[in-house]
Structure 1
Amino acid sequence: MQIEPICFRGRRFWILRDDLIGGEFNGNKARKLAYFLNSNLANRIISYGSSQSNAMYSISVLAKLRGIKFIYFTHHICDFLLNNPCGNYAAALKNGMDIRISKNPLKSAQNECKSRDIFIPEGVAMSEAEMGFQDQARIIVDFAKKNDIKFDIFLPSGTGCSAAFLAKNLSDMSVWTTPCVGDSHYLKKQILALDPLSKVNIINPPRKYHFGKLYSEIYEIYKELLYSCGVEFELLYDGVGWLTLMANLNAFKNDILYIHQGGMLGNITLLERYKRKFNI
């Protein structure tokens, strides 16, 4: 796995390129689903969440590889996506996902699940996800020792699963995150549910960003990173992540390692939305 330096706005950052994990899986979903790739699966996989979710697509890949049915519940599919399937939604459908609309996706998913089915919560926030982050932690520790670096590690969070399990498996490096879905209280609650002793540091974004809403500054920092560093980041999470990181640089005492969690397939849909909204 590749850890590389970039220079952004005159400062060096290190990037863990989990977006370059090979095959159809990449990013933090490859980490979260590593356990299921190496275990016996039951009849079906049942899950729920957004109709443009990175987790939805990754679970569809898992189900296809293992030859089992995948049923996914979501609250809404917008008219544009229905008429112009693209990104995670289109790819998951191609992989054979059975998507169903529900007023209460969580409850519907739980009711659908039978004794031999696997229930995967939104964002794959579950104890089985830890295995992949044990390997990620080893990669970071080995690189840091080899290069005599101590990192402060930063990554944006939805459920906080990635940050929680990475921090749990690192003893002498701090892990920092910021909420991209909900606020810091919600994120802390989610992290502590996964690891009651978690020491993840949570910092707030420079302003409130409503998940899925379009913001010109998110698109601008996405473009700036792409053109100045040659690295494409994901818009929903990494946009908020980089804006938060740059607004709080004084909080970090060591070299900053940013975890690139992949998920760029979702950018296809988001970039179309940005083009329509801002006429770019």
Structure 2
Amino acid sequence: MPAPEFPPRVELARRPTPLQYLARASERWGQGHRLWVKRDDLSGCLLSGNKVRKLEFIVAHALAEGYDTLITCGGVQSNHCRATAFAGAQLGLSVHLLLRGDEPAVSEGNFLLDQLAGATINCYPKRQYVSELPDLFAAWQTHYAGLGRKALAIPTGGSDGLGVWGYIAACEELAADLATAGIDRAHLVTATGSGGTQAGLALGVSLYDLSLTVWGVNVCDDEQYFLDKVAADTADWQARFPAAPTVTTETRVLDGYVGAGYGVADSEVFALIAELAALEGLLLDPVYTGKAFQGMLAELEAGRFRDCRDIVFLHTGGVFGVFPQAQQFEFAGAGGRG
């Protein structure tokens, strides 16, 4: 199948990101498998993680269509909102963030960075946010139109038919990564929170005919939600880009690792984050990658990946989410190896 023709893109990320073999983690948890990590946490500093890949295409669209303001949404510690705030600052676009939850008493983590980037911020109680989000977007777009400005509404996580191009493009990198590492086929595991990364990976694997089986570990909601969301993002992509090749994709979700809810991790996740950091110098976060890595190891132990020697974990970033929950590591017994 010929490579897809990409829409306009703004160069924001440090690409390609490395594929790193985890020798000690493989010995510790691999049970004969080789564990790898695709280091998308190294896609930049303030624009780190998976969000910047999506924003390259979203911001290019905004510039091409004459938008001067970006409005987006997420939790108070949203990685996507922080990345959008800094992308806007770099490109001279105003950014307005609609955040779910009460305004923090102390500015830290991503919320602090949002403020430093000069974003306009409104925090809404969870119930109002969930029930009124489309109306909030519309009201603020109308507000900016009244000022003679043009505001683009970007959905949660930048996950829609435009944002999925970020991980379609990433599959071009993965093809080269696998060839260089001598990996014939592998399972690819990623955290999935808004669905766009998983949708892009599923499309990219088909478009580039990669021998990868993509699994999303949901960090919120449930399996059916993500089956529906990935299907919706894929349909949106096909509708927006009818000239793109027609492909068949599969959506696979490893459910059961949400814990007490989105953004809430148990002591086992914090202990795993600390152990992996000391073992490999690889830092996960308690909202996304910590839960996803825990889910991957549990499924590996249960025999889920027995048909394949290599397992690739996509590190989607989120390091700034560690700091607002730093006190949890005391209870998880974090510390060095002695």
TM-score by length of 1: 0.91
The partner residue of 1:47 within 66, 72, 88 is 72
Aligned partner of 1:148 in structure 2 is: 182
SS of residue in 2 equivalent to 1:129: coil
Q: State whether residues 72 and 109 of structure 1, in contact with CA within 8 Å, keep that contact through their aligned partners in structure 2.
A: no
**Which segments of 5 or more consecutive residues in structure 1 lack a partner in the other structure?**
none
| Counterpart position of 2:56 | 34
Please say if 1:247 is aligned against 2:298.
Answer: yes
- In structure 2, what is the Cα distance between the partners aligned to 1:153 and 1:3? 12
Q: Does structure 1 retain, via aligned residues, the 8 Å contact 2:42–2:49? A: yes
After superposition, the CA RMSD in angstroms is 2.1
How many residue pairs match? The answer is 276
Correspondence for 1:161 among 196, 205, 224: 196
C-alpha deviations, 1:153-183, integer Å up to 9, x for none? Answer: 0001101210111111113321011110111
The DSSP-based 3-state class of the residue aligned with 2:287 is: coil
Mark the CA change 1:133 to 1:275 in structure 2 (over 3 Å): closer, same or farther: closer
- Of residues 73, 84, 108 in structure 2, which corresponds to 1:86? 108
1:195-221 CA distances to partner (integer Å, 9 max, x unpaired)? Answer: 255312111135744112241111011
Question: What code does the residue aligned with 1:109 have?
Answer: F
Contact 1:205 1:240 in 2 (8 A): no
The 3 A distance-change label for structure 1 pair 206 and 57 is closer
Shift in Å at residue 66 of structure 1?
Answer: 1.8
Q: 2:186 touches 2:312 (CA, 8 Å); kept in 1? A: yes
- The 2-side partners of 1:15 and 1:75 are apart by 31
Give the distance between the partners of 1:246 and 1:185, measured in 2 at CA. Answer: 22
Per-residue deviation, 1:88: 0.2
Q: For 2:117, give the aligned amino acid.
A: N
What is the rounded CA distance, in whole Å, between the counterparts of 1:206 and 1:62 in structure 2? 31
Matched, 1:256 2:284: no
Q: Give the TM-score normalised by the residue count of structure 2.
A: 0.76
What CA distance in whole angstroms lies between the structure 2 residues aligned with 1:145 and 1:35?
26
- List structure 1 runs of 4+ shifted beyond 3 angstroms: 36-39, 206-209, 275-280
Alignment deviations for residues 105-146 of structure 1 (CA, whole Å, 9 cap, x no partner) = 512123212463110011111111122212210111112123
Q: Which residue of 2 aligns with 1:113?
A: 141
Counterpart code for 2:76: S
Match of 2:238 in 1: none
Report the CA distance between 1:75 and its aligned residue.
Answer: 3.5
CA distance, structure 2, for counterparts of residue 210 and residue 188 of structure 1: 19
Confirm or deny that 1:190 pairs with 2:229: yes
1:163 is paired with a residue of what secondary structure?
A: helix
Give the match's secondary structure for 1:127: coil
Map 1:223-234 to 2 at 5 A: 223-234=274-285
Q: Provide the rounded CA distance (Å) in 2 between the counterparts of 1:242 and 1:118.
A: 34
For 1:214 and 1:141, how far apart are their aligned partners in 2? Answer: 33
Q: Distance in 2 between matches of 1:147 and 1:213?
A: 35
Equivalent residue number for residue 101 of structure 1: 123
Cα deviation, residue 279, structure 1: 9.0
Structure 2 distance, partners of 1:134, 1:75, is 29
Structure 2 residue aligned with 1:219: 270
**2-structure distance, mates of 1:275, 1:226:** 12
CA distance in 1 between counterparts of 2:279 and 2:45 reads 27
Residues 192 and 218, structure 2, Cα contact 8 Å, conserved in 1: yes
**Larger C-alpha radius of gyration, 1 or 2?**
2
Moved more, 5-14 or 36-45: 36-45
The answer for the alignment partner of 1:14 in structure 2 is 36
